[in-house]
Amino acid sequence: MQLFLLQFLNGFQLSMLVFLLAVGLTLIFGLMNILNLAHGAFFTMGAYFGLIIAKATGSFWAALLIGPLLPFAAGFVLQFYVLQPLAERGRSTHLDLALLTFGLLFATAGAVEYLYGSSFYSIATPDLLKGRIAFLGIEYPTYRLFIIAAGISVAAALSPVIDRTLIGATLRAGVDNREMVTALGININVLFALVFGFGSALAGFAGVVAAPVMSIYSNMGIGIVVTTFVVVVVGGLGNLKGSFYASLIVGMTDTFAQAFFPEAELFAVYALLIAVMIIRPQGLFGAVGRLA
Amino acid sequence: MAFSFEKSTRTILGAAAVLAATVGIPSYAQDKGPIKIGLILTYKGVYAPVSEGFDRGLQIAIAEYGGKITGRAIEIIRADDELTPSVGVQKFNKLVQLDRVDLVTGIVGSNVAIALSELADRGKVPVVFGFAFADEITGKFCSPYIARSSFSANGFQYNSGKYWASKGIKTAVIMGPDYSAGHSFLGAFKRGFEEGGGKVVQEIWTPFQKTKDWGAALTQAGNSGAQIIYAFYAGSEAVQVVKQHADFGLKDKLPLIGDQWVYDEALWPALGDLVIGAKHITVHFPDLENEASKKFVKAFREKFKEDPDVNAALGYDNGKAIMLTLEKLGGEIPGDRAKIISTMRDLTFDAPRGKIRFNAQNSALLEKVYLVEIVKDADGKPRRKFVDEFAGAGDLSGCAKSF
């Protein structure tokens, strides 16, 4: 029973990490329908910028707050000055964007390797979150509980913004009928760029949160792209709650496969993806009828 | 008719010889141009730090001879195999056909090494592998044109298994990436450990370069009741395993014992104080007390302003084996280049890691394997401290050829 509880927490922790990674992409790809394979590049940028801040200030919390600013700026610039003009010239099919952002993903990894070499770095766990907490007869690393809390907080804070506020409503309206929103006097280009930047900042935030448990290195962003797309697609495009549940499914599948059926670990998540694509192509939690 | 045909053929051949002579071959034959060595490594990606260390160590060995053997300069031509067999083959062919290298060395990945070994055998090109630890390289794929200056997985790990079994460790969990190198290293440990009376109670194989969270695996290991975890990881995976192992409070309860790559100094900045107190096996460390090691470490520090890592030591061994061989051959490249390899096989020399000699399949053996503990030195920096040593094991058999 204790073993099960531990593994459940492991699964929950991994799920929330996956959610933090994927939530930005849910906004960018899911909601705004901009295919962005460079999401991993923003994850890398956030981690490295966080590392620089942590080194300069000695504080994890400063890194967590300031680290995401660089990917925010980079995301804003990318959408406003590159992707938006492309879209206006009619060059924004999924293939165009896939090629461009895929190139960007590898260019970022290359640039980081050029600047920082191929060494491994890490941000130290803050004192407050060091050690383990004992409860229900088990001991669990505090930092992992923090990751769970961070994931739930982001989900809880973001969901009402998208569903209930004017910003969310404008954004959703802009995706469905751009001309109408523009006609109403809203600068949709700036709004899109801000949301793109915010989505990128969330990837950067995930990069800083992951740093104390994983490691920071030039190619760190490349491997996560597939997992995040699986979450966004399984959850249903643009569906924040869907992404949350899909992260739970992906995280739990991975953890329990690793613990109890190691042979299945590598393909369990992909098998899930294929099944979803065949049975419910709109995603497990996607609204029926939305065109992606 | 027959006569004139023969004559004209001869004339053409003669003309061709003269032409070839004027174009470039004479400088080779008369002033004995440089001896060319093709160095294939993985200069980008996961194994970039490993390759850089090796390259530097090799440079030290060549510099020891003033960069020359009996007046002939040594020229290194570098190529990047991208850790991909097809790329390795392409670069190998370029080095052999275009650059006309006399021998090829380096090669980190066993996957690339296996692809090249057949090519070397068919093309009669001598190759001296500097890493490529898979047992079958000098086993199933053995050839008179192939030597390995490093060691085999079995040579490194089998006696480590026996050693830990003899030190009161009865149960262990083995943990490593699910690909050939993980299986050969940990497989060798398991054979030694179980023959020594220990028992591997759990085997954890994680998908190579796909795993980010080791929580599940470590929780299972923590629950297994074993005395140690014996791990084989490298690079970012090693960082994550060591960190998460400590996060779960297993450092004292279930120590993570590994090798020189789990606790590689390239990872120390990322691991911080977590490495202090860790024990691992290695073939070389900078404070090793022997003449060859002191000389090598001193030369390396002078040139690169830092301590050599184990990869640099392997590069040095490789360079030293090549230079000693060329010296023995008097700087002449023999007609049948298998003689380069057979000359190397007969060498015995003192290397930083201990005495190096080769077995009948041209694979270098480990005289000793060292157990070290990472401690803090006076400046608070991590440093390796000698704890114990044991002999390296022989290689697995499997070579069907005799040469």
B164: CATH: 3.40.50.2300
Could you tell me if residue A152 is inside a domain? Answer: yes
The residues of B whose Cβ lies within 8 A of any Cβ of A are 44-46, 48-49, 204-207, 209-213, 215-217, 219-220, 223, 235-236, 239-240, 243-244, 247-249, 266-267, 269-272
Which residue, among B247, B252, B273, B275, would best test binding to A if mutated, counting the most A CBs under 10 Å from its CB? B247
Same domain, B187 and B274: yes
Sign of CA dihedral B57, B61, B63, B67: negative
- Residues B76, B199, single domain; the answer is no
Asked if residue B83 and residue B230 are part of one domain, the reply reads no
- Which of A10, A215, A266 is the closest to B240 by Cβ? A215
Question: Are B216 and B117 found together in one domain?
Answer: no
pLDDT recorded at residue B352: 96
Nearest-angstrom CA–CA distance, A7 and A144: 12
Domain containing residue A126: 9-222
Residue B337 phi, psi (nearest 5): -75, 0
Q: Do B163 and B141 lie in a common domain?
A: no
Q: What is the pTM of this model?
A: 0.81
Write down the residue that tokens 């980190």 correspond to: B108
Domain count, chain A: 1
Pick from A8, A213, A255 the residue to mutate for testing the B interface (most B CBs within 10 Å). Answer: A213
How many distinct helices (H) and strands (E) make up chain A? 13, 2
CA A44 – CA A221 distance, rounded (Å) = 5
- Whether B171 and B226 have beta carbons less than 8 Å apart is answered as yes
CB contact under 8 Å between B247 and A143, yes or no, is: yes
| Cα-based distances in Å from B129 to A285, B85, B232, B254, B363 | 54, 14, 21, 36, 9
Nearest to B366 by CA among B377, B355, B376: B355
B129-145 pLDDT tens trace: 999 999 999 999 999 99
Q: Select from A43, A50, A20 the least CA-distant residue to A104.
A: A43
**pLDDT value of position A193:** 93
Q: Which domain holds residue B170?
A: 156-282+368-391
Burial state string for A138-165 with b = 16 or more CB within 10 A and e = fewer than 16: eebbbbbbbbbebbeebbeebeeebeee
Nearest CA among B77, B257, B282 for reference residue B171: B257
> Is A277 a domain residue?
no
Judging contacts by C-beta atoms under 8 Å, the chain A residues touching residue B240 are: 213-215
Say yes or no: B345 and B384 in one domain.
Answer: no
Pair B79, B122 in one domain: yes
> Residue B6 falls within a domain, yes or no?
no
Q: Do B236 and A215 touch (CB under 8 A)?
A: yes
Q: Look at residue A119 in the predicted model and tell me its pLDDT.
A: 79
pLDDT tens figures, B310-347: 999 999 999 999 999 999 999 999 999 999 999 999 99
CB under 8 Å to A157, separation ≥6 — which residues? none
Is residue A266 in some structural domain? no
Mean pLDDT (chain B) is 89
Query: Which residue in B46, B48, B216 is closest to A258 by CB distance?
Result: B216
Residue B241 and residue B372 share a domain: yes
pLDDT in tens, B216-273: 999 999 999 999 999 999 888 898 999 999 999 998 899 999 999 999 888 888 888 8
Residues B386 and B259 in one domain: yes
Both B244 and B328 in one domain: the answer is no
pLDDT along chain A (292 residues), means of 10: 88 93 89 88 95 94 95 95 87 86 92 86 89 88 95 92 85 84 87 93 95 88 86 84 91 87 80 87 67 41
Q: How many CB pairs under 8 A join A and B?
A: 106
State how far residue B251 is from chain A, nearest Cα, in angstroms: 12
Cross-chain residue pair A220–B236, CB shorter than 8 Å:
yes
Whether ipTM > 0.85 holds is: no
